[in-house]
A and B are shown apart, each in its own frame.
Chain A
Amino acid sequence: MNMQAPDNFLSIEELTVEYPLQGGKKVHAVTQFTAHVRKGETLGLVGESGCGKSSAARAVMQLPRPTSGKVSLDGQELTGLRGSALQKARRRFQMIFQDPIASLNPRMTIREIVSAPLEIAGIGTRADRDARVAEMLETVGINAEQAMDRRPHEFSGGQCQRISIARALALQPDLLVCDEAVSALDVSVQAQVLNLLEKLKKDLGLTMLFISHDLAVVKHVSDRVAVMYLGRLCELADAETIYRNPVHPYTRTLLSAVPEPDPDAPPHEMNLVPGELPSPVNPPSGCPFRTRCPRASEICAQEMPELRYAAEGQLVACHHPHLDGK
């Protein structure tokens, strides 16, 4: 299996994130997560709350550093960098957060917010930075002249998210990590921001890691999609394939649970063993989904299924995948 193809721009290898608890216990937030993203590609990361998608994204950002595993961007290993070397590398990867209002400092003007990354990186004179701020604001569809000297509370959620995007793009990063970037927005505004992200990706050649719990949103922006459950990768394939022909039972469950805005859509059968999401402190043995999986058998409790190809470009970690469309 050639997992280390030369065109991989972002490589995440065997990423593990654990948070220590009292008494020597640990939260296993992400376990052995591997994914590769090509340049100019968007990888969507989906799953339900607690599946580790945000922890994985933050580990990519080195915020905080993962417990183990390797993250490399354009051949440079980020997990090995320290101090000023890491700070310098950070210019190349930036992040947008879920809550657009909480992620902007209410006491700073928009000018200060968007130019902060430039200042920290020590780029240009004040006039250069102002020009760059104005340019970035216009790029994201904010009237720079009117906005520069205002503060975040004077803007709506959608506008604040545009400003966050401007800030993230000020240093011309190669990689943009969006953690639930549109989840807090109303649908009409959400569509605007999604279209903007798509346009920026095309215009600026951005590589994106797009985290969301909303499968429909993820489909609209992603080239490939990774589905996570309880810290593990279940399935990874190109967007078209994973939505048309999901092979992991969990991916199928997740897709069938999405309410479709069509009164004539047939009611979906959600194939799920009743119960609760197991605790990431004490995950089940073997496959983490087995306690809720309708296909689970003995082997699922004994062995964690290895990642393997179900079809070309479609990776799955399951002992009993739905092959041949069944």
Chain B
Amino acid sequence: MSEPLLQLTGVRKAFGEGPLRVEVLHGIDLTIRRGECLALVGESGSGKSVTAHSILRLLPPNKVSSQGHIRYNGLDLLHASDRQLREVRGNRIAMIFQEPMTSLNPVLTIGKQIMEVLTFHMGMKKRDARAKAVDLLKAVGLPQPDVRVDQYPHQLSGGMRQRVAIAIAIACEPDLLIADEPTTALDVTVQAEILDLLQRMVRERNMAMILITHDMGVVAGRCDEVAVMYAGRIVEKAPVRDLFHKTRMPYTAALLSSIPKVTDPPHRKLDAIEGRPPDIINPPPGCPFAPRCKYAEPACDAGKPALEGGARHQWACIKPLGEEVAA
């Protein structure tokens, strides 16, 4: 197994102060290696985006308090200086956001926006940067790249804009690409094309990718490792096959069976998870999933279960599923 590229240890985040303080991440441990795709899955409010934004410290610093370490290349990103961080952002670690309209600047041509990264991080001359921008647009499959380079974001469709965002992200050949729900705003056929493109870029350039999604279908086809988040914690972490076939955490199992599938017969009654995700301001005393878990017992309310299990497959549950199989 290769050296870790990025390592999160005990990352905690809280918003606000005093009585308004809300804990949103409760100690996240994650490791990602070169050439690997890690999926961060969870429902809204589970903390997956906060985790991703923490890596590049994109949360407003005056409103957030943090603990823990995010190690990348001998640097602790959580405690690095702004100058050190600027070297990493968009250069070694790049990010793609959900909404391709709002992540691009509407008053600059897409060429300018790609060239900015190249001149800033790679010290390229304007003329070279422009040529490279056209190459990048071609690499991400944008038709007529030499025409598009002078167009503005509003002249492009959602799928094309996301291709531009990808071109910007890969411009400096980063080590790590963080994609936060990159296809949620797109149609299914466009989603498939964009995911194929991301996968190809990661493979061809030997990058690592963290893919944040709520869609288990996207996870199944495109990732190596999966971390499932619930209420600000990682509740299960496993290689993708194990997560689907040897599910240990009841939340993961419940989530998987609540998804409508095209392969199901029509009108199959879905196994909905009763209730709703816990109130993060007043979290339940024990396991955050216990109030909705059909296997919960009194012991589940006694304390927060820590991640346990082997090196590759871990779960945070005192009564994991499939225990009889393991025994």
Interface on A for B, CB 8 Å cutoff?
A: 48-49, 156, 158, 186-192, 194-195, 198, 213-217, 219-223, 239-240, 243, 253-265, 267-268, 270, 272, 274-277
Inter-subunit contact B187/A49 (CB<8 Å): yes
Complex-state Cα separation, A277 to B308, whole angstroms:
48
Question: Given that A158-B276, A220-B260 are contacting pairs, would A260 and B187 also be in contact in the complex, using a CB cutoff of 8 Å?
Answer: no
Question: Given that A186-B44, A220-B267, A276-B159 are contacting pairs, would A261 and B258 also be in contact in the complex, using a CB cutoff of 8 Å?
Answer: no
Complex-state Cα separation, A158 to B266, whole angstroms:
23
Tally of contact residues, B, Cβ under 8 A: 50
Collect the chain B residues with CB atoms within 8 Å of residue A255's CB.
262
Inter-subunit contact A258/B272 (CB<8 Å): no
Q: How many A-B contacts if CB must be within 8 Å?
A: 139
Does B261 sit at the interface, judged by CB under 8 A?
yes
Cross-interface CB contact of B244 among A158, A216, A263, cutoff 8 Å: A263
Inter-subunit contact B270/A220 (CB<8 Å): yes
Residues from 215 to 249 in B contacting A, C-beta threshold 8 Å: 215-222, 240-241, 244-245
Does B188 sit at the interface, judged by CB under 8 A?
yes
Question: Given that A219-B264, A223-B266, A254-B189 are contacting pairs, would A189 and B219 also be in contact in the complex, using a CB cutoff of 8 Å?
Answer: no
Complex-state Cα separation, A214 to B266, whole angstroms:
14
Does B143 sit at the interface, judged by CB under 8 A?
yes
Complex-state Cα separation, A109 to B273, whole angstroms:
28
Inter-subunit contact B240/A194 (CB<8 Å): no
Collect the chain A residues with CB atoms within 8 Å of residue B160's CB.
276
Does B263 sit at the interface, judged by CB under 8 A?
yes
The 10 closest A-B pairs by CB, nearest first: A259-B217, A191-B272, A48-B187, A191-B270, A188-B273, A261-B216, A239-B266, A186-B43, A216-B260, A191-B258
Question: Most A CB atoms within 10 A — which of B189, B214, B240, B277?
Answer: B189
Closest to A159 in B: B276
Does B54 sit at the interface, judged by CB under 8 A?
no
Does B255 sit at the interface, judged by CB under 8 A?
yes
Inter-subunit contact A274/B244 (CB<8 Å): no
Collect the chain A residues with CB atoms within 8 Å of residue B254's CB.
188
Collect the chain B residues with CB atoms within 8 Å of residue A243's CB.
262, 266
Collect the chain A residues with CB atoms within 8 Å of residue B312's CB.
none
Collect the chain A residues with CB atoms within 8 Å of residue B216's CB.
187, 261
Cross-interface CB contact of B273 among A191, A194, A260, A261, cutoff 8 Å: A191
Collect the chain B residues with CB atoms within 8 Å of residue A276's CB.
143, 157, 159-160
Closest to A277 in B: B157
Inter-subunit contact A258/B267 (CB<8 Å): no
Cross-interface CB contact of A187 among B188, B258, B263, cutoff 8 Å: B258
How near does chain A come to B213, taking the closest CB pair, in angstroms?
10
How near does chain A come to B311, taking the closest CB pair, in angstroms?
20
Inter-subunit contact A261/B219 (CB<8 Å): yes
Closest to B254 in A: A188
Inter-subunit contact B157/A258 (CB<8 Å): no
